[in-house]
Amino acid sequence: MVHFADVFITGIMVGGIYACIALGWAIIFKTSGVINLATGQLTLIGGYVLFALYTFGLPIYIAFAGMLAIAIVLGILTERLWLRPMIGEPVLSVIMVTVGIAFAYQAIVALIWGADTRVFQPPVFPLEPLMLGPIHISQVFLYSFLIAGVMMALLIFFFQRTRMGLAMQATADDEMAARSMGIPASSVYRWTWVIAFMSCGIAGGLLGNINGLNISISYMGLLVLPAVVIGGMNSIPGAVAGGLIIGVLENLGDAYISRYFPGGVKSTFPFFVMLIVMLWRPYGLWGWVKIERM
């Protein structure tokens, strides 16, 4: 039971980081109906920008603030330069544009920082584990989970209590009705990309503190996809819950199944569960069921 508790608690903490990436998926899909295949690259850029600011000598909290400021600028530029000209075009065309954005951003990161693994020095979080009775809790995972939790709480407040958050929800529900009420859809889409950049950037910085930074961080966008599908592609709370579920499933699969099927169980087990959930609930556990009446 002690081993199970260690595995479960660590899974929850890692799942909080996954939830930030899942929010990057869900926010863009909920507002525009576009599957953003550059989500992993948004995570990658955030991690390297935080690393650059921290190694420059800034305190970590100022480095985080600087990374968020740069994420805002990049989100605005990305929407203005590449996504706004695609308004009114087929969804598949917009998705292919996100593929181009993904390759372009990954190439820029590799050009600036190279492909070698970078490690935060000195370590941002204490390395000694905390003891909760017989249970070991990594402080890196704990502080990462708390930071991710604060980010998610702020996003929930933003969507429920601010004018732009309510406008984004209205646009997601019915874009034509929102436009008729005077809500500027272009501003909504711009803030959608800004929030996605910020959320994924925080996740990238936290992942870099745990395992170091390299180009493989970009693949986290696809590895977190089961979290979004299980929770529901158009559900913000579902993305958070899905991230926590995937974090636990990864750790449980690695701890209890990989001994019988060695090789990649940790990363493939969530996809197996995703397939089962899709057969049972194609729209996810908290997704909206689309009903069409003739």
Name the residue with tokens 């000694």.
128
Q: Residue 129 gets which letter from DSSP?
A: P
- Predicted pLDDT of residue 201: 92
CATH 1.10.3470 fits 2-280, yes or no: yes
CA-based end-to-end distance of the chain: 54
Cα separation of 12 and 8, whole Å? Answer: 6
Neighbours of 163 (CB within 10 A): 8
Name the residue with tokens 């089961």.
226
- Predicted pLDDT of residue 293: 55
Helix (H/G/I), strand (E/B), else coil: 118: strand
Cα separation of 56 and 63, whole Å? Answer: 9
Domain residue limits, the chain: 2-280
What crossing angle do the helices spanning 163-173 and 139-161 adopt, rounded to 10°?
80
Q: Which residues of the chain have pLDDT under 70?
A: 173, 288-294
- Predicted pLDDT of residue 246: 93
- Predicted pLDDT of residue 123: 87
Stretch (H or E) spanning 137 = strand 135-137
- Interval 160-219: pLDDT, tens: 788 888 888 777 767 777 777 787 777 888 889 999 999 999 999 999 988 889 998 998
What crossing angle do the helices spanning 91-113 and 39-55 adopt, rounded to 10°?
30
Name 136's bridge partners: 131
Cα separation of 265 and 272, whole Å? Answer: 10
